[in-house]
Structure 1
Amino acid sequence: MLTAVTGINWGDEGKGRVIDLLAEHADVVVRYQGGNNAGHTVVTKQEKFVLNLLPSGILHPNVVCVLGDGMVIDLEHLTHEIEDIESRGISITPEHLKLSKRATISMPWHRIQDELEETRLEKSGAAFGSTRRGIAYAYSDKYRKKTLRLGDLLHLKEENVQVRIKTMLESKNLELAGSYHQEPMSYPALLSWCEKQASLFAPYICDTGSFLENALASHKKVVLEAQLGAMRDIDYGIFPYTSSSSTISAYGPIGAGIPGESLDHVVGVLKAYSTCVGAGPFVAERAMSEDWCNILRKFGNEYGAATGRPRRVGPFDAVASRYGLKCQHADKIALTKLDVLSSLTEIPVITAYERNHKTTTVFDPTENIDSFSPVVTMLPGWKQDISACRKYEDLPENARLYIETLERLLDCDIQFISTGAERNEYMIKGEWL
């Protein structure tokens, strides 16, 4: 069975937790796009783990984790992430973690370019809100054919690979010297860096596509893990305030390395309210007062898992969420952080957008989203702790009303509901996986 877990909105919906729970019954978990520019937070009985590159299944010893073809991988960051996980008693071996030989390497200069350009844009007030981790530049060079793939590390002594390294280095030095007045990098230093990465990761690099094909042929359960959400997709998100890869479920088999396979299920993850990290239009934050947003941010601990930046927050946005559901084509819905709303006397929900005295319920990311104002409906709160609820019937009446209102607005059923931060604080309603 092949299942993708995707974000419906801007990311940070709680996919890591859902994937971690699905991994209990999975054989393989695969990251299929993105890099270390976002994070998944997983809370176990012992502690909290923030994962940037490693799939959320890495905490399960019987699950094989794969970094797929569609990723851009910062190997230095991966080294530190592995060291952190292993320092907490979790062993990571080539049997447990496999790196696609087709995945793109995020080279040392990609972070430098990202930092320099975002700093330049900030001075003119035109910054994109980049995480400064080089993701856009790694993807750019991938499509310009001016970077390395992991498989190249296994062939560094071959002349054709060395010629490619020299050619891309010459090009990159011209860019950095001409645009940012940086000192040129040397070929011996770059080759030494590549050799170091090869010595560390050669045992992990393999044809992960063939591995996944064999796993599916053997009726294994494979979970594909997306980063970010539909609003950050390079094609279908709010361009140019997007990531540089496809976060859409349909890309999952391609980015995983099994383009001929079809998904059996898509789990779309929604947060019970709206959050956003980074720049760009975000109608929800204009729905309520700054004090209300600060309270929600505090109770929800809304700070970026990768960057620590305070997230922009607002009420649940049914207009944007319907669009995200359409993009992700989700047949299973998970609603996270319902408990964060438990202290509110009234709970706002965005049901439409308004502009020039006209309302719409259609989200179009090619429009000037900032020109719209939110239309808000207030629902009664439940004002009690729901963390002990394990059955839908156990929830307060107003909590059920809130969920059923979202289901009506989205025209879909919600099957998974988290009721607290602890790993076991959730419930299943209806047919799950």
Structure 2
Amino acid sequence: MLTAVTGINWGDEGKGRVIDLLAEQADVVARYQGGNNAGHTVVTDQGKFVLNLLPSGILHSNVVCILGGGMVIDLEHLAGEIQQIREKGITVTPEHLKLSRLATISMPWHRIQDELEEDRLAKTGSAFGSTRRGIAYAYSDKYRKKTLRLGDLLHLDEEPVRSRLKTMLDAKNLELAGCYHQEPMSYPALLAWCEKQAELFAPYICDTGSYLSQALLEGKKVVLEAQLGAMRDIDYGIFPYTSSSSTIAAYGPIGAGIPGTSLDHIVGVLKAYSTCVGAGPFVAEKGMSESWREELRQAGGEYGAATGRPRRVGPFDAVASRYGLKCQNADQIALTKLDVLSSLKEIPLIIAYQKGAEKITEFDPTEDMDNCIPVIEMVPGWQEDISGCRTYEELPKNAKNYIETLERLLNHKIQMISVGARRDQYLMKEI
């Protein structure tokens, strides 16, 4: 059984929460794209965990976790992340965590380039809102064939790898010196860095594609974990304000290492309201006052898991969500953070966009959305604590009405509803 868990919107929908629940019945959880430029937050009895690279299944001792070949991996960040969760009592061994030999290494210069370019753009007011973690530059060098893959760390004593390392360093020094007037990096220092990473991670590096194929042949349950959401997809998102990889479920088997395999299920994750980190068009934040948005931000703890940046917030956006749902082709929907709306007397919903005299109900990522304003419909709130509800019937009438209104707007049933941050604070809706 192969299931992908993907984001319907801009990311930060609560995928880690959903994957953590699915991991209770899973055998393998694999990340298939992205790097450490976003995070999943999971709350367990052992505390709060913010995971940037490690799959959310890492918190379950019986689950094998994989970082797939479609990822770009900052090994220094990964080492720190492993150390942090070990300090909270989580075991991480090569039996528990496997790294694809095909995954791209985020080299030391990728973060440097990201920071330098974002600073340059910021001076002209045209910054992309990058996380400054080098993700775009790692992917760029992947497609230029000017970086290493994890499997290369196992062959550092061989001439072909050393020759490539020298060639890419020469090219990178030309870029950094010519464009940003940086001092050149030395080959001995770079080789020493690579040797250190090899010493740390060689036991974890393997052919994860073969491992996944065998697991599926044996009838095991495999969950593929996406980072970010449909609006940040490099092809179908709000380009150029996207990530640098494909966040779409269809890419999941490719990035995980099993390109000839089809998905059995796709779980699309939606938040009960809209949030966004980074630059780019975000019609939802135009609908309500800044004080309303700040109150929602505080109630939901809406700060980036990877960066700590305040998230942009707004009402649930049905226009964008229908598009994201179409991109992900989700057959199941999980709705998160419904409890955050509990204090509101009335809850706004975005049912369309207005652009001049034109009313827009179909999202188009190439549209000039900066000139769109939201068309808002208000629905009654429930104004009572729902964090203790464990069945759909226990929810207040207006909370059920809100969920059913979303279902009508999306033309899709919602199966799972999160009513709090803890593992047990969710309920399933009978279909």
Task: Indicate whether the TM-score tops 0.5.
Answer: yes
1:219: Cα distance to partner?
0.3
AA of the residue aligned to 1:206: C
**1:428 corresponding residue in structure 2:** 428
Q: Helix, strand or coil for the counterpart of 1:119? A: helix
User: Is 1:400 aligned to 2:405, yes or no?
Assistant: no
**2:184 corresponding residue in structure 1:** 184
1:229: Cα distance to partner?
0.2
Q: Helix, strand or coil for the counterpart of 1:6? A: strand
**1:282 corresponding residue in structure 2:** 282
Q: CA RMSD in A?
A: 0.5
AA of the residue aligned to 1:200: L
Distance 2:430 2:168 in 1: 54
Distance 1:420 1:202 in 2: 39
**1:244 corresponding residue in structure 2:** 244
**1:385 corresponding residue in structure 2:** 385
AA of the residue aligned to 1:111: R
Q: Helix, strand or coil for the counterpart of 2:35? A: coil
**1:162 corresponding residue in structure 2:** 162
**1:354 corresponding residue in structure 2:** 354
Distance 2:360 2:89 in 1: 52
**2:152 corresponding residue in structure 1:** 152
Distance 2:278 2:286 in 1: 16
* Structure 2, unaligned runs of 5 or more: none
Distance 2:127 2:89 in 1: 40
**2:14 corresponding residue in structure 1:** 14
Query: Structure 1 vs Structure 2: percent identity of aligned residues?
Result: 79
AA of the residue aligned to 2:119: T
Distance 1:294 1:45 in 2: 29
1:358: Cα distance to partner?
1.7
Instruction: Say which is worse superposed, 417-426 or 370-379, in terms of deviation.
Output: 417-426
AA of the residue aligned to 2:62: N
AA of the residue aligned to 1:142: K
**2:293 corresponding residue in structure 1:** 293
Count of aligned residue pairs for this structure pair: 431
User: Is 1:212 aligned to 2:203, yes or no?
Assistant: no
User: Is 1:202 aligned to 2:209, yes or no?
Assistant: no
Q: Helix, strand or coil for the counterpart of 2:375? A: strand
Distance 1:86 1:155 in 2: 29
AA of the residue aligned to 1:377: E
Q: Helix, strand or coil for the counterpart of 2:171? A: helix
**1:53 corresponding residue in structure 2:** 53
* Structure 1, unaligned runs of 5 or more: none
AA of the residue aligned to 1:381: G
| Residues 286-334 of structure 1: per-residue CA shift (max 9 Å, x gap) | 0000010000001000000000000000000000000000000000000
Alignment of 1:1-150 (within 5 A): 1-150=1-150
Distance 1:80 1:419 in 2: 31
1:265: Cα distance to partner?
0.2
Distance 2:92 2:104 in 1: 21
Distance 2:148 2:28 in 1: 26
| Residues 134-167 of structure 1: per-residue CA shift (max 9 Å, x gap) | 0000000000000000000000011111100000
Distance 1:89 1:371 in 2: 50
Distance 2:422 2:172 in 1: 47
| Residues 182-203 of structure 1: per-residue CA shift (max 9 Å, x gap) | 0000111000000000000000
Could you list the structure 1 runs, at least 4 aligned residues long, displaced by more than 6 angstroms after superposition.
none
Distance 2:158 2:270 in 1: 48
| Residues 393-426 of structure 1: per-residue CA shift (max 9 Å, x gap) | 1110000110000000000000000111221011
Distance 1:157 1:83 in 2: 28
AA of the residue aligned to 1:324: G
Answer whether contact 2:286 2:314 (CA < 8 A) is retained: yes
Q: Helix, strand or coil for the counterpart of 1:111? A: helix
**2:304 corresponding residue in structure 1:** 304
1:369: Cα distance to partner?
1.1
- Using structure 2 for the length normalisation, give the TM-score: 1.00
AA of the residue aligned to 2:348: P
1:107: Cα distance to partner?
0.1
AA of the residue aligned to 2:205: I
Distance 1:358 1:112 in 2: 44
Answer whether contact 2:42 2:421 (CA < 8 A) is retained: no
Distance 1:22 1:236 in 2: 27
Q: Helix, strand or coil for the counterpart of 1:84? A: helix
1:430: Cα distance to partner?
2.4
**1:229 corresponding residue in structure 2:** 229
1:239: Cα distance to partner?
0.2
1:87: Cα distance to partner?
1.0
Distance 1:189 1:59 in 2: 35
1:260: Cα distance to partner?
0.3
Q: Helix, strand or coil for the counterpart of 1:343? A: coil
AA of the residue aligned to 2:299: F
**2:314 corresponding residue in structure 1:** 314
1:357: Cα distance to partner?
1.7
| Residues 346-383 of structure 1: per-residue CA shift (max 9 Å, x gap) | 00000000111221100000111111110000000000
Distance 2:313 2:299 in 1: 11
1:46: Cα distance to partner?
2.7
Distance 2:274 2:370 in 1: 16
1:35: Cα distance to partner?
0.1
AA of the residue aligned to 2:201: F
Distance 2:68 2:289 in 1: 42
Q: Helix, strand or coil for the counterpart of 1:339? A: helix
AA of the residue aligned to 2:265: H
**1:411 corresponding residue in structure 2:** 411
